[in-house]
Amino acid sequence: MRIDILTIFPGMCAPIVEESIVKRARKKGAVRILVHNLRDYTHDKHKKVDDRPFGGGSGMVMMPQPIFEAVGALRRQGNVGNAQRRVILLTPQGKRLNQHNIKRFTKYKHLILICGHYEGVDERVRANLVDDEISIGDYVLTGGELPAMVFVDCLVRLLPGVLGDKNSLKFESFEGNLLEYPQYTRPAVFRGLEVPDLLLSGNHAHIEAWRKEQALKRTKRKRPDLLKK
């Protein structure tokens, strides 16, 4: 998979793509991540990417020209058919990102992420260039870089061969609309606090049943909205 990220602050993306699981995935060849400065696609000497909105109003709006040209160039570089590519705008108006809907993006070979800024992007970008709009929550951030990095981190770990333990994905939070069960590690007793005896029994069938029960109880207590799904 190839992921291109369009941003006016490319330095914000480096800490994520150069560390941890995302870095390992890149080294394994499971994903290629390229960060592009949107200002490189402007034509004026000031590298301007925004302007005042028609009709008045506060703030600035990202201009269509740099975004259209950048996406056009990246489409040609991606070297895949349109059916294998998605152009994604990170925006508060988008569909809420969750564990269920992130999975559908793993089937594509090329993703282009557009990081919005200011008061948003020219509507012609949204209407004519973008395939998907994604939000990571109902709050306002300075720009789309952090949501793009959340999207990338969430997606990359789902790609085949990225995680060392293939089974670990089956037992994570939000799989099956359940939060993850309680986890314990050594020592069995720490400051008088003991690990449940069942987990030390070696009876894997009973342990699995206990974990499912605990996951259900935790979800009912903390996120009952998930059970409605």
Examine the domain organization and report whether 141 and 182 are in the same domain.
no
Question: Which of 120, 136, 156 is the endpoint of a domain?
Answer: 156
Q: Measured between alpha carbons, how far is 87 from 216 in angstroms, rounded to an integer?
A: 37
Separation of CA 166 from chain center: 20
Q: Say whether pLDDT at 165 is over 80.
A: no
Give the whole-angstrom CA distance, residue 140 versus residue 120: 11
Name the nearest CA neighbour of 122 among 54, 75, 69.
54
Same domain, 131 and 212: no
Per DSSP, what are the bridge partners of residue 37?
Answer: 7
What pTM does this model have?
A: 0.86
Q: What is the pLDDT of residue 118?
A: 85
- Is the pLDDT at 173 greater than 70? The verdict is no
For the stretch 142-157, pLDDT in tens is 999 999 999 999 999 9
Q: Mean pLDDT throughout 42-53?
A: 94
Same structural domain, 69 and 149? yes
Sign of CA dihedral 134, 138, 143, 147: negative
- Contact criterion met (CB below 8 Å) for 74 and 86: no
Give the pLDDT confidence of 189-199 residue by residue, as tens digits: 999 999 999 99
| Secondary structure (3-state) at 90 | strand
Instruction: Please count the structural domains in the chain.
Output: 2
User: Is residue 170 very low, low, confident or very high in pLDDT (cuts 50, 70, 90)?
Assistant: low
Could you tell me if 27 and 91 lie in one domain?
A: yes
E strand map for the chain:
2-7, 32-37, 50-51, 61-62, 85-96, 110-115, 132-135, 189-190, 193-194
Q: Cβ contacts of residue 203 below 8 Å, gap of 6+?
A: none
Structural domain boundaries enclosing 31: 2-156
